[in-house]
Amino acid sequence: MHSHDASDDLKKGTRTVGAAVRLVRPGGWERDTRRTRRAFSYSQYRITLSEAPRLGDAHPYVPAQGDSMPQTDFTGRRVLVVGASSGIGRSIALTAAGGGARVAVAARRRDLLESVANQVDGLAVPADLADPDDCARIAEEALAGLGGIDLVVHCAAVSPITPITKTTAPVWQRLFATNVVGPLLVTSHLLPELSPGSLTAFVSSRSVGRPYHGVGAYSASKAALDQALLSLRLEHPRHRFTRVEVGDTAGTDFNRDFDLDTRKELLPLWLAHGALSETLLDCDDVSELISASLAQLLDRPGISANNLVFHGAGGIITSPDQRPMIGTREGRRHARAGAGGQQV
């Protein structure tokens, strides 16, 4: 990989997307490269890196001739997506299946899950991550149905909105059972049976280390998952574990558990503390990019990417009257009024 001037991309008709990637040799030294991810070389799906722009820098996009997302190659891969009934998990499952993977999907909402399973011609495992027996069953049924697993992607989470001191014991218990304990139990059951060169990815949050009013309990659960991920790498150095941080995203169910009155009360605080991004990621678009990155890693079993970070290009929202933009391959467009799923 090599560095280049981001202005060269514009001359060549390519584009840049903000990302931070930690590259390591499995079991060896690591090198943190906080860079801007240059556009894929679509013919070979090759990722190169360039210097990261400063916050607030412009990110113009000049479409290249025939520019399109890479047709991510998952041919022959066996993929389990946990939390696949909607949002990023659903999109990753669809992308993997479209790239030739055999897919198993797990989630709590049976009707939505079975719809996704039908779309990917895959295996549905209705399950609740807060139930330890269900966690074991996810691993057992996915392994049996796929005949082995090459990639696991953990996307499931609950995200209540409430101040820390008003978070009740049942909410704390449900939050940590679903966001932390469940994914780790599923992973623990799977580890001895994962194929050589496999990869396990966990979707995290940009609020880790920078909590926002009302989402402190959620941030704490994601911080706990991040810390457990470090221990997984320490205890299982021959397995690869990738943390995927996704910024504010339109089209997910992140705010499904939000109390609207509480959200209205917290909005001025979010604006004052710069918690809302000017540019939202598009759920399907960023999921394709995540999928393509994970497919690249599967093709390179000697490389680990400990952290993949995807944020919308641009600054922050400073006024309640300011409508966010949605960043896509075509550039940026205004979000429709009431667009849901903004992830913090």
Q: What CATH number is attached to the domain comprising 244?
A: 3.40.50.720
Task: Give domain status of residue 70, yes or no.
Answer: no
Determine the pLDDT at residue 256. 60
Assign 323 a pLDDT band (cuts: 50, 70, 90): confident
More confident residue, 36 or 292: 292
Per-residue pLDDT at 6 exceeds 70 = no
- Which of left, alpha, beta for 338 (phi over 0: left; psi -120 to 50: alpha)? left
Is 239 within a domain?
yes
Q: What whole-number distance in Å separates Cα of residue 248 and Cα of residue 73?
A: 27
Residue 309 forms part of a structural domain: yes
Classify each residue of 290-316 as buried b or exposed e, where b means 16 or more C-beta atoms within 10 Å of its C-beta. bbbbbbbbbeeeeebbbbbbbbbbbeb
Across 76-100, average pLDDT: 96
- Note the maximum CA span of the chain: 56
Structural domains counted in the chain: 1
98 part of a folded domain: yes
* Per-residue pLDDT at 63: 35
pLDDT for residue 45 is more than 50: no
> Using CA atoms, how far apart are residues 260 and 248, in angstroms rounded to an integer?
18
H or E element in which residue 288 lies: helix 283-298
State the Cα–Cα distance between residues 244 and 155, nearest whole angstrom.
10
Instruction: Confirm whether 91 is domain-assigned.
Output: yes
Helices 182-190 and 216-235: crossing angle, nearest 10°?
A: 20
Confidence of residue 258 (pLDDT cuts 50, 70, 90): low
Task: Report the pLDDT value the prediction gives residue 249, as an integer from 0 to 100.
Answer: 85
* Separation of first and last alpha carbons in the chain: 31
Q: Which residue bears the tokens 């609740």?
A: 128
Going by C-alpha positions, the residue among 275, 300, 293, 120 that lies closest to residue 198 is 300
Tell me 179's DSSP state: I
Residue 66 is assigned to a structural domain of this protein: no
Question: Does the pLDDT at position 340 exceed 50?
Answer: no
The CA distance from 308 to 294, in Å, is 10
Average pLDDT, the chain: 79
Active site (catalytic) residues? 218
Question: What's the pLDDT score for residue 331?
Answer: 58
Residue count (the chain): 344
In a domain, 4, yes or no: no
**Sign of the C-alpha dihedral computed for residues 69, 70, 73 and 79 taken in this order:** negative
Question: Is there a domain that residue 269 lies in?
Answer: yes
Q: Does residue 19 surpass a pLDDT of 80?
A: no
Domain with 207, as residue range(s), is 78-334
Which residue has better confidence, 198 or 59?
A: 198
Gap between the Cα atoms of 6 and 60, Å rounded = 11
**pLDDT level of residue 334 (50, 70, 90 thresholds):** low
| 290 compared with 162, residue with greater pLDDT | 290
Structure-model confidence comparison of residues 15 and 82, the more confident one: 82
Task: Please state, as a whole number, how many other Cβ atoms lie within 10 Å of the Cβ of residue 59.
Answer: 18
For the chain, give the percent of residues with pLDDT over 70: 72
Instruction: Indicate if the pLDDT at residue 229 is higher than 90.
Output: yes
Half-sphere exposure of 9 (CA within 13 A, CB side): 23
